[in-house]
Amino acid sequence: MRRSFALLLPCVLLATCKGGDDTEDTGTHDVLPDDGVLAGSYVVDALVVGEDETLVAAGDVVIEVTGDAPVHIAGRIEGQTRDDDQGASITVKATGDIVVSGSVAAGDGAEVGGERAKGGSVTLETDGELDLSEAEEVAAGDGGGGEAGAAGGAGGDLVLEGETVRIEVREGYLAAGSGGDGGDEELGWDALFALRSDTGVVSWTSTAGGGAGGDLEITGSIAWVGEVSDLESVQPFGGGPAVTPGRWRCGRSPRRGGRGGGPRSRSPGPCTR
């Protein structure tokens, strides 16, 4: 699992970062907070995250950008683990283009949080072009591990939508979340049958089911950046099999399921560009 760390810097998000007024009735914020710690919904005119900036999603975050200027994320937007053990999800919606040259990473589920410890999802949605060709990482959160005898949490989903989605031909920088491992529990014969052998309790370890891997969904025309022929050996989507040129569209669950009871992630479907 990823370990999140953040350097909180003053916000340089154009006119969108001023203070903390809420829009009445809806509970939607109309500015981003100065300290860069986000939770809830925001409707802003523009969004630019500088190279040296980190925005932290302490809870689920939805940022809707209504202006026509491109959204540019050169720094980091990263999710934390919520108080309820789930990973924080991150959603950015825009009418103009979205360009990511930094990273957007949702929060992981709590390390031992069980089925409730789901990884956070990442959704990037635009009416224009979604350019991820220079991104460092765009990744959903991994599910947390199960407590003793309990299943692990499911991995988060990665949802990408644009008229055109630009993806570079390089290894594994886009990823849905992996499912968390099931928890181990030592079981004894005496617990089941109230019997003891002369040599003591006979015991074994039982592992609960692993969490399901998250889904990857891409809506729009994919524009590959780089040598398309390399797609036979290079996989931009972390955890999945190498793809054949011209056959990848969106697929499902390229990430693994958690340990215990076998992988539960679904296989990528047929793909078209």
Of residues 58 and 146, more confidence is placed in 58
Q: In the block, which residue shows the tokens 């609960």?
A: 208
Q: Kindly tell me if the per-residue pLDDT of 78 is higher than 70.
A: yes
For residue 190, give the H/E element and its range: helix 189-193
Alpha carbon distance 34, 17 (integer Å)? 6
Alpha carbon distance 254, 234 (integer Å)? 14
Give residue 7's Cα distance to chain centre: 20
Q: Which of 104, 102, 24 is nearest to 63 (CA)?
A: 104
Among 89-93, 119-123, 157-161, name the one with the lowest average pLDDT.
157-161
Q: Are 224 and 247 in contact (CB under 8 A)?
A: no
Q: List residues bridging with 90 in a β-sheet.
A: 61, 122
pLDDT digits (tens, 9 = 90+) for 91-119: 999 999 999 999 999 999 988 766 678 99
pLDDT digits (tens, 9 = 90+) for 172-210: 899 888 888 776 655 554 444 444 444 444 444 455 567
Alpha carbon distance 98, 69 (integer Å)? 9
Alpha carbon distance 147, 17 (integer Å)? 41
The residue ranges of DSSP E strands in the chain, in sequence order, are 37-44, 48-49, 54-65, 71-73, 76-79, 90-94, 98-100, 103-105, 122-126, 129-131, 137-139, 158-168, 174-175, 184-188, 203-207, 216-225
Strand-strand pairing, 90-94 and 54-65: parallel
